[in-house]
Amino acid sequence: MRDLAKFMHTNAVPVPDGWGKTGSNPCLWRGVGCSVSNSVSFSVVTNLNLSNRLLTDRLDDFSSFHQLEVLDLSFNSLSGSVGTKLSSLLRLRSLNLSSNNLDGDIGEDMALARSLEELVLSENHFHGSIPRGLFQYGNLRYLDISQNNLTGDIPDEFLKLPNLQTLLLSGNCLRGAIPSSLSNVTTLSRFAANQNNLSGSIPNGLTNHLNNLDLSFNRLTGDIPSDLFLPPGLETVDLTSNFLQGPIPTGFSQRLFCLMLTGNLLNGSIPESIGDASSLVYFELHNNYLTGVIPWQLSKCKQLSLLDLALNELQGPIPSELGNLDSLIVLELQMNNLDGYIPSTLSGLFVKSGYTEP
Using one digit for the tens of pLDDT, what is the confidence trace for 21-73? Answer: 445 677 777 778 887 655 555 677 889 998 998 888 887 777 777 888 999 99
Provide the domain limits for residue 284.
216-357
On whether residue 353 sits in a domain, the answer given is yes
CB atoms within 10 A of CB 119: 22
CB 218 within 8 A of CB 245: no
Domains contained in the chain, number: 1
Give buried/exposed letters for 278-312 (b at 16+ CB in 10 A, else e). bbbbbbbbbbbebebebbbbbbbbeebebbbbbbb
pLDDT at 15: 43
On whether residue 6 sits in a domain, the answer given is no
323, burial (CB in 10 Å: exposed 0-12, middle 13-18, buried 19+): middle
- For residue 288, the one-letter residue type is N
Q: In which region does residue 20 sit, left (phi positive, over 0), alpha (psi from -120 to 50) or beta (all else)?
A: left
On whether residue 209 sits in a domain, the answer given is no
On whether residue 330 sits in a domain, the answer given is yes
On whether residue 35 sits in a domain, the answer given is no
Q: Residue 128: is its pLDDT beyond 60?
A: yes
On whether residue 297 sits in a domain, the answer given is yes
On whether residue 185 sits in a domain, the answer given is no
On whether residue 266 sits in a domain, the answer given is yes
pTM, entire model:
0.90
Domain of residue 232, CATH code:
3.80.10.10
For 271-315, the pLDDT digits (tens) are: 999 999 999 999 999 999 999 999 999 999 999 999 999 999 999
Q: Which residues contact 75 (CB under 8 A, 6 or more apart)?
A: 51, 52, 98, 99, 100
For 145-200, the pLDDT digits (tens) are: 999 999 999 999 999 999 999 999 999 999 999 999 999 999 999 999 999 999 99
Residue 186 CA, chain-centre distance (Å), reads 17
